[in-house]
């Protein structure tokens, strides 16, 4: 793994964590790639929390991974984080030859807030007629909709309505739920998923986001988008991070690797 920096659209020096297999420099083969966005409610965390998992994904699938150390709210409100991810996508396309990436085989992936950013990046790319289009969107318990409220059933809530209110207020710079929130800020507000790339989404029963996640899946199904969804019963938000060696967590991770390995 190496960390390099690119110049963002506003001149900021944006760190990108780059993962590739050690034997990748052999030959002239090009690979698929995934742009990864970490979780943390748009207000915390960094790609450092995902180094071990992304290293294993790259080792097992042979793809390259680029994790964006996007800027966080409240210091940096929407659309700064999304623009950082957009700049990473542009870098991969502009430098596909030197990076030995097939630009038609670039997926986006994220968990929680990062899943929301991955969804938003996909919508932004479609609206901009970005070509070649994003190959796949891989979303894990994505944070999609600022209008979500209520409490989570069960005793193991890791992200509740109060956390959600804090995060969305910081990201939007205003109370969530208003009529002027862009779909690029809250992809759950999407009304038409037509022409979006294939969707893989996993979520869990005792997750504050479960209903917005299932609604997002339904919108893709209604639009005829190739869609795969896994709903894990009896588990809370982020269970795979808490129990990475659990059989269900391993199943989830293998599903993601299967999608990435098929690019």
Tokens 């807030």 correspond to: 113
The angle, 0 to 180 degrees and rounded to 10, between the axes of the packed helices 247-261 and 51-61 is 50
pLDDT for the residue 27:
64
CB atoms within 10 A of CB 205: 14
Examine residue 140 and say whether the peptide bond preceding it is cis (omega within 30 degrees of 0).
no
Crossing angle between the packed helical segments 113-127 and 80-94, to the nearest 10 degrees: 60
pLDDT at 29: 83
The number of folded domains in the chain is 1
Q: What is the CATH number of the domain that holds 79?
A: 3.40.50.1820
Please name the helix (run of DSSP H) or strand (run of DSSP E) that holds residue 104, with its range, or none: strand 101-111
CA distance 238 to 209: 11
The domain in which residue 48 lies consists of: 2-261
Q: Report pLDDT for 248.
A: 93
- pLDDT mean for each 10 residues of the chain (263 residues): 97 98 75 98 97 96 98 99 99 95 98 99 98 98 92 72 95 96 99 98 94 98 99 92 90 96 96
Element (H, E) at 16: strand 13-19
Cα(108)–Cα(118) distance, integer angstroms: 6
- Check: CB of residue 112 under 8 Å from CB of residue 141: yes
pLDDT at res. 225: 99
Non-local (6+) Cβ contacts of 159 within 8 A are 41, 112, 152, 207, 208, 209, 237, 238
Q: What is the predicted pLDDT for the residue at 152?
A: 67
Give me the torsion for CA of 152, 188, 92, 38, rounded to 10°.
-10
CA-to-CA separations, 233 to 41, 140, 196, in angstroms, rounded: 23, 15, 28
3-state DSSP assignment of residue 164:
helix
The helix/strand/coil state of 129 is coil
Alpha-carbon distance values, 262 to 34, 41, 203 (Å): 12, 29, 21
DSSP state of 197: P
Numbers of helices and strands, H then E, in the chain? 8, 8
């Amino acid at each position: 793994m190496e960390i390099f920096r690119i110049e963002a659209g506003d001149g900021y020096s944006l760190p990108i964590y780059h993962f590739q297999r050690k034997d990748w420099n052999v030959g002239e083969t090009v690979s698929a790639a995934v742009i990864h966005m970490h979780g943390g409610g748009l207000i915390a965390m960094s790609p450092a929390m995902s180094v071990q998992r992304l290293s294993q994904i790259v080792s097992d699938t042979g793809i390259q991974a680029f994790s964006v150390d996007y800027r966080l709210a409240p210091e940096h409100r929407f659309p700064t984080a999304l623009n950082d991810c957009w700049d990473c996508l542009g870098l991969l396309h502009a430098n596909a030859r030197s990076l030995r990436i097939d630009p038609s085989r670039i997926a986006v992936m994220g968990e929680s807030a990062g899943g929301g950013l991955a969804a938003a990046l996909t919508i932004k790319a479609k609206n901009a007629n970005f070509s070649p289009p994003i190959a796949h969107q891989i979303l894990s318990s994505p944070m999609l909709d600022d209008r979500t409220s209520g409490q989570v059933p069960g005793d193991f809530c890791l992200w509740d309505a109060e956390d959600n209110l804090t995060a969305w207020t910081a990201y939007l710079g205003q109370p969530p739920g208003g009529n002027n929130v862009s779909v690029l800020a809250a992809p759950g507000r999407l009304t038409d998923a037509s022409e979006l790339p294939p969707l893989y989404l996993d979520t869990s029963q005792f997750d504050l986001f479960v209903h917005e996640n299932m609604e997002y899946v339904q919108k893709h199904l209604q639009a005829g988008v190739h869609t795969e969804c896994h709903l894990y019963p009896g588990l809370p938000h982020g269970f795979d991070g808490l129990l990475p060696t659990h059989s269900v967590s391993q199943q989830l991770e293998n599903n993601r690797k299967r999608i990435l390995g098929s690019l």
